[in-house]
Structure 1
Amino acid sequence: MKKQEIGTFLLRVMLGITFLMHGLSKFQSGLDNISGWFQSIGIPGFMGYVVGTIELVGGIALILGLGTRIISALLIFIMAGAIVYVKFPAGFMGNGEGAGFELDLILMIIALHLVLNGSRFLSIDSKLPNHKKGQDSEIIAS
């Protein structure tokens, strides 16, 4: 087992936990409230439901290693939206009135790493019959 596989596994699980908690928070505070807030910043309200569901279900899927590349790609779009629509005006580190986009950017880069490299170690994806053995390492090598 390579150190890179363990490192990527840790990134996958921590990204999964982070988004699971953010999605859970959206559900606990009420998706109707999230939908209303999305509308107040110029995003269609239904996207609050979409984002909350992707974060909650996607977080669980990442922890389990199921659909890692697909979920990570969706999270990249969510983080890009968060940066552009919410965090960018506050700057990289924040402006005293709101948080900056440094954490969102880091989460987006971790998700990009998972899109590019996958994460086979302790993943359901690696156990699926249609998953080609060594597929992730071939992509890394190229």
Structure 2
Amino acid sequence: MIKKYEAGTLILRVVLGLTFFIHGLVKFQSGIENIAGWFDAIGLPGFLAYGVALLEMVGGIALLVGFGSRIVSALLALLMIGATLKVKLAVGFIGDGTMGAGYELDLAFLAMALFIAINGSKMLALDQILFKGQKSSN
């Protein structure tokens, strides 16, 4: 039972990590200045775009290797709450057909991040190697 649970959690951690890493990478590759300008246009300080992209990239890598998974997942959950409330909520659950997707995917990422933040993910996690013998918060 424990192995199945940990294997399932590992799958969530890796998929979430890979997805956020790619989202952050694309923000930098497509021109982070454009994202900063869009943040300004929706009423957020443009410099937050850099923080969001960095959190997505570094947090994604951390999840992939299992380093600080609970903390990183909590931060990503907060990011998803902010994105949903500020941007996606207005277009509805599946979108309105004109402004792109709704918040259904954000909600799924939020649920995944909350699960890992609450339960941790120990299987194949760097934390387990680095902090072996110590009580893990992961």
TM over 0.5, shorter chain = yes
Give the corresponding residue for 1:115.
Answer: 117
TM-score, normalising length from structure 2? 0.93
The alpha carbon displacement at 1:130 in A equals: 6.6
Question: Counterparts of 1:93 and 1:11 in 2: how far apart (Å)?
Answer: 22
- The structure-2 alpha-carbon separation of the partners of 1:134 and 1:71, relative to structure 1 and needing over 3 Å to count, comes to closer
Gaps of 5+ in 2: none
Q: Does the 8 A contact of 1:23 with 1:53 survive in 2?
A: yes
- Identity, % of aligned positions: 53
Stretches of structure 1 lacking an aligned partner (at least 5 in a row): 137-142
CA displacement 1:95-117 (0-9 Å, x = unmatched): 11121100000001100000001
- Counterpart of 2:131 in structure 1 is 129
Distance change (3 Å), C-alpha of 1:135 and 1:49: closer
Aligned residues: 136
**TM-score normalised by structure 1 residue count:** 0.90
Q: Residue by residue, what CA displacement relative to the aligned partner does 1:70-96 show, whole Å, maximum 9, x if unpaired? A: 110110111111101111111111111
CA distance in 1, matches of 2:12, 2:135: 21
Query: Alpha carbon RMSD of aligned pairs, Å?
Result: 1.5
Aligned twin of 1:140: none
Note closer, same or farther for the CA distance 1:135–1:42 as it changes in structure 2 (3 Å cut).
closer
User: What residue is the counterpart of 2:105 in the other structure?
Assistant: 103
Give the whole-Å Cα distance in 1 for the aligned partners of 2:60 and 2:108: 16
Distance 1:115 1:84 in 2: 20
